[in-house]
Amino acid sequence: MTEQNTQHSPACGDFLPICRADMEQRGWDQLDFVVVGGDAYVDHPSFGTAIISRILEAEGYRVGVLAQPRYTDCEDFKRFGRPKYGFFIGGGNVDSMVSHYSVAKIARAEDEYSPGGKAGARPDRSATVYTRLAKQAYPDLPVILGGLEASLRRFAHYDYWLDTVLPSIAEDSGADLISFGMGEHQTVEIARRLAAGEPIGTITDVNGTCYLTDFDHLPARYVECAGFKKVASDKVAYAKACRIQMDNQDVVSGQIIVQKQSEKYLVQNIPAKPLVRWELDKVYALPYTRRYHPIYEAVGGVPAIREVQFSIIQNRGCFGGCNFCAIQLHQGRRVTSRSADSIVAEAERMTHEPDFKGYIHDVGGPTANFRFPSCREQMLRGMCSGGKHCLAPSACSHLIVDHKDYLNILRRVRELPGVKKVFVRSGIRFDYLMADPDETFFKELVEHHVSGQLKVAPEHCAPNTLAYMGKPPIETFNKFKDKFYELSKKAGKKQYLVPYLMSSHPGSTLKDAVYLAEYLYKNHMRPEQVQDFYPTPGTVSTCMFYTGLDPYTLKPVFVEKTAEGKALQRALLQYYEPRNAEKVIKALKLTHREDLIPLLVPAEGRRAVQR
């Protein structure tokens, strides 16, 4: 990306072409690139397709958007005619398999990212299916596959839905390049080189990309992890490979990684540099309409826009280090953020939208209260490797804790004419907040930015489970909880914490789940937001789930894989529900904690079980 760009951009309000007629209306006879996405077309910077298509447009290319194409054949991929340079493809904002199936592998009836919220508009493994169809339509055209689904499958990986290890998505899909991470730098460089006439087969040195090659064409220097066949048959090898992959995802300290697939070798170049502040500002100032395309109006629009239409993304990356989170392998651990002026300008533009009612739903990101890199050392040496975390089990001595800049932004936004309230709804990292000796931000958060409930993610309370999750001890959450209610009371507000909790994470035994239920009872907490651990590709926790090993120590980790065991753990998180009484009683008997039955199981539930 260049700081100065003289290319013309159309006025905000214009969607990019979605069909041949739209092209002709602009006087175009051919597109340069087609951007294919697994979500409905929503021209908002919370959607990957919108960002990639607008960036290409800003670079001066003619771009069309092919959203949720028909996948029974390749005809939809010919909708615009043959593009001049190629396809950029993404599976959607959410992994298509997670969109389609619950953790119990039951098909979902709804899809928030599809027209009318109905499931079925995209195929399973949409990134792979779309790439194959693009290649069927135009076998000689370059296809660059990016987005979350591809990023998390770039290495050989455990697939929960098939319960097996699969090779890299580069092999399965047939893509020419995999663009991993957020993708802006890669997209611009690849597009420029293709437009300059460079063959896709020679574009192998772009940071933030992966490609397949043979042994004779491997780079001069790299670190190799065990190949697909080895990790598919040897769980220790899988765990060791996971560590190598995680330890080399930093732009400063990371090395090129090589992993043999079925025949060829996957080469992962080092990650792309995160966008610096002016680059982020530029991305979010592109002429998005911030709406779904009018073609969806008849079916009620696209539900996913509701929460983000009047929300602002202020940062990227997360140094929180949760082992079950995909951000580490996708956005990365290095935090970058937009300028205050850019954020305030976006908020001001919102106030002129016809649907704006005065409420900005969020000013946040992966973690709302992160604004800067976690320490100065990482800029020179890179992020720490070997499973070391900035915040857990306790804050690193090098951690920079400062909420002043974020607080200033919230103050400026809430003072804008037409703005009634500014909420913070994306996650607050409570341990980072508690590490700040200055309480000013905490006070103003409670006074001005909580919409009655504040979502936080302690996830569990058992020490062993929290350690495997990469989360801080429960004592940190307890201090935060007490302070939150103290400050709310002083502010004269009745406000509540909504804790996110997870059952059956690797390391969580039935005794740990009982311990959590007892904690919830003693603290008068009745969580509505609970979930079973979902083993999605590419995370450390999924490695533990599949191998039963901690990839950093190679020590065994307990993993609950039985349906009954998972059901018991989940029931304990909502022990107060009469429908869970039988499972809760069974769990308490199995762990010899019958003393808790009168406390955890409602009388109605006990009577029902006795009958």
DSSP string, 95-134: -HHHHHB-TT-PBPSB-TTSGGGBS-SS-TTHHHHHHHHH
Rounded CA-CA distance 64/143 in Å is: 15
DSSP string, 221-255: S-EE---HHHHHH-HHHHHHHHHHHHHT--TTT--
Instruction: Check pLDDT > 80 for residue 13.
Output: no
pLDDT band at 427 (very low <50, low <70, confident <90, very high): confident
Which long-range contacts link 215-223 to residues 24+ away (Cβ below 8 Å)? 215/265, 218/258, 218/265, 218/267, 219/256, 219/258, 219/267, 221/255, 221/256, 222/255, 222/256, 222/257, 222/258, 222/267, 223/248, 223/255, 223/256, 223/257, 223/258
Instruction: Check pLDDT > 70 for residue 609.
Output: no
For 297-309, how does the pLDDT look when each residue is reduced to its tens digit (9 = 90+)?
A: 999 999 999 989 9
For 583-595, how does the pLDDT look when each residue is reduced to its tens digit (9 = 90+)?
A: 999 999 999 999 9
Rounded CA-CA distance 273/250 in Å is: 9
Residue 332: left (phi > 0), alpha (psi -120 to 50), or beta? left
HSE-CB at 52 with a 13 A cutoff on CA atoms is: 34
Res 608: pLDDT: 67
Rounded CA-CA distance 323/542 in Å is: 9
DSSP string, 398-467: T-----HHHHHHHHHHHTSTT--EE---SPP-HHHHHT-S--HHHHHHHHHS--SEEEEEEE---HHHHH
- Average pLDDT of span 383-388: 90
Distances (CA, A) of 196 to 3, 30, 201, 389: 21, 17, 14, 43
Res 1: pLDDT: 53
Residue 588: both structure tokens together: 């308490």
- Average pLDDT of span 312-340: 94
- Average pLDDT of span 457-471: 97
Instruction: Check pLDDT > 70 for residue 391.
Output: yes
Of 319, 329, 362, 367, which Cα lies nearest the Cα of 343? 362
- Average pLDDT of span 468-474: 97
For 264-302, how does the pLDDT look when each residue is reduced to its tens digit (9 = 90+)?
A: 999 999 999 999 999 999 999 999 999 999 999 999 999
pLDDT band at 530 (very low <50, low <70, confident <90, very high): confident
pLDDT band at 4 (very low <50, low <70, confident <90, very high): very low
Res 12: pLDDT: 37
| In the block, residue with structure tokens 């615009």 | 80
Q: Which domains are present in the chain?
A: 20-212 (3.40.50.280), 310-451 (3.30.750.210), 455-611 (3.30.750.200)
- Average pLDDT of span 200-223: 98
For 132-186, how does the pLDDT look when each residue is reduced to its tens digit (9 = 90+)?
A: 999 999 999 999 999 999 999 999 999 999 999 999 999 999 999 999 999 999 9
β-sheet bridge partners, residue 63: 33
Which residues have a Cβ under 8 Å from the Cβ of 318 and sit 6 or more positions away? 325, 327, 328, 331, 333, 335, 365, 366, 367, 370
Res 2: pLDDT: 44
Residue 3 burial (CB < 10 Å; 0-12/13-18/19+)? exposed
Give the alpha-carbon dihedral of 445, 446, 449, 450, to 10 degrees: 140
- Average pLDDT of span 513-537: 94
Residue 389 contacts residue 470 (beta carbons within 8 Å) = yes
Rounded CA-CA distance 467/557 in Å is: 11
Can you tell me whether residue 312 is helix, strand or coil? strand
For 42-93, how does the pLDDT look when each residue is reduced to its tens digit (9 = 90+)?
A: 999 999 999 999 999 999 999 999 999 999 999 999 999 999 999 999 999 9
Distances (CA, A) of 362 to 99, 366, 407, 480, 570: 23, 12, 13, 21, 30
Rounded CA-CA distance 444/304 in Å is: 29
For 535-562, how does the pLDDT look when each residue is reduced to its tens digit (9 = 90+)?
A: 999 999 999 999 999 999 999 999 999 9
Rounded CA-CA distance 578/568 in Å is: 14
Rounded CA-CA distance 405/370 in Å is: 10
**Mean pLDDT of all residues in the chain?**
95
Residue 73 contacts residue 338 (beta carbons within 8 Å) = no
Instruction: Check pLDDT > 60 for residue 5.
Output: no
| pTM recorded for the entire structure | 0.94
Rounded CA-CA distance 27/29 in Å is: 7
- Average pLDDT of span 24-34: 97
Residue 499, preceding peptide bond in cis (omega within 30° of 0):
no
Of 437, 239, 426, which Cα lies nearest the Cα of 320? 426
- Average pLDDT of span 224-233: 98
CB atoms within 10 A of CB 189: 19
Helix ranges restricted to H, 206-363: 228-233, 235-247, 277-284, 305-308, 327-330, 340-350
Res 605: pLDDT: 66
Residue 432 contacts residue 391 (beta carbons within 8 Å) = yes
Distances (CA, A) of 170 to 245, 542, 585, 601: 16, 20, 48, 51
Residue 375 contacts residue 400 (beta carbons within 8 Å) = yes
Instruction: Check pLDDT > 90 for residue 8.
Output: no
Task: Give the rounded percent of residues in the chain with a pLDDT score beyond 90.
Answer: 92
Of 553, 550, 569, which Cα lies nearest the Cα of 561? 569
